[in-house]
A and B are shown apart, each in its own frame.
Chain A
Amino acid sequence: MNLPEYEPSDKIWQNIEAKLNEDALRQALKSLPEYEPKDELWQKVSSKLNKSNFGYVKWVAAASIIIFISVYFSQKNNEIKYTKQQIEPELLLSENDLSEYGYEEIMKICNEDKIVCEKPEFKALETELEELNTASTELKEAIGKYNTEPELITQLAQIENQKSDIIRKMAAQI
């Protein structure tokens, strides 16, 4: 069976010849000289890296300050919440704790005339006053420095008014 044969294009050999021809050039290029930079060049690179890192640190520091200021003011703004609370005038605490002054005066009298102070009614009032004092102390601790809970302040005012009533009753018995 005589199957046909095919002739490759002339371009194939031209391509092969071109590649073979280039081999001489490729070999020569492989043996081209190499050059070495002077050692001073690394010193320059290294010092520039130090400067750029210092610059980086400066940027980080600047960014930290900006973040700190932003957070500070955002929190500060959060603190400035405006709420309007209505407290009945009679429940407001007086600036001077007059009840304490009155209680001290009563105790001075009791020390001079103990008979009145030994009466059960007077003793009951004294016990009630001590309980109110304990409640008042605990409430003051709960309120803390910033007086942020209006309900607690109202309760404290009520307790202080009750204390004043009791001290008035005690004074009336004397």
Chain B
Amino acid sequence: MTENELIDACILNNRFAQRTLYDSYKRAMYTLAYRLTGDFDDANDVLQDAFLDVFKNLGSFRKDATLGAWIKTIVARKAYQRFKKPKFLELKEDFEENELISWDEQMNSEYLEKAILALPEGFRTVFVMIEIEGFTHREVGELLGISEGTSKSQLFHAKKRLREMLK
């Protein structure tokens, strides 16, 4: 079954097709939901709401993005709507867009994961969406209702904080 056929079957409320689609994306979306919320129970709720939205609105999926990217946006939006708005720390310290942050060649992914989850909400949200999920600053700005400049600033400070934590 092609992805288009799978989508059509899901729109017709074919439960087998819906389960197949869910199984295809559940790990990636659950992981995203967990990283955005920082809590497995909250991630469960976000994933459930997001997939219900996916199946209700699949008819409006225009296929100008990949299905994965479309679902990812819904998960991110659900996580953002469900919880209190992340506080985007406005740091007085200005940032230079190309300021260098040096990273160790051999980074332990387990430590890195813990450090990401320990970031303040706003830093974490922007870092996860841009560096891990591949959203652009414009997309993050639209989704979170912040300017591209704020998104860039949050990302810079997130990286700086991460670097400090990983030293």
A residues within 8 Å of B by Cβ? 11, 14-15, 17-18, 21-22, 24-29, 31-38, 41-42, 44-46, 48-49, 52-53
Contact = CB atoms under 8 A, between A and B. Distances in A.
Main SS of chain B's interface residues?
Answer: helix
Interface of B: 13, 15, 18-19, 22, 26-28, 30-31, 34, 40, 43-44, 47-48, 51-52, 55-56, 98, 100-105, 107-110, 112-113, 116, 131-132, 159
Main SS of chain A's interface residues?
Answer: helix
Nearest to B96: A14
B100 A41 contact: no
Given A11-B98, A49-B52, 4 more contacts: A24-B107, A35-B34, A37-B26, A41-B44
Contacts of B51: 45
Contacts, number: 85
B166 to A, nearest CB: 9
Contacts of A37: 26-27, 30, 43-44, 47
A26 B131 CA distance: 8
Given A25-B103, A28-B112, A36-B30, A52 B22 contact: no
B15 A49 contact: yes
Nearest to B104: A24
24 contacts: A17-B100, A21-B100, A24-B105, A25-B107, A32-B109, A32-B112, A32-B113, A32-B132, A33-B31, A33-B109, A34-B28, A35-B30, A35-B31, A35-B40, A37-B26, A37-B27, A37-B30, A38-B44, A42-B22, A42-B26, A46-B15, A46-B18, A46-B19, A49-B13
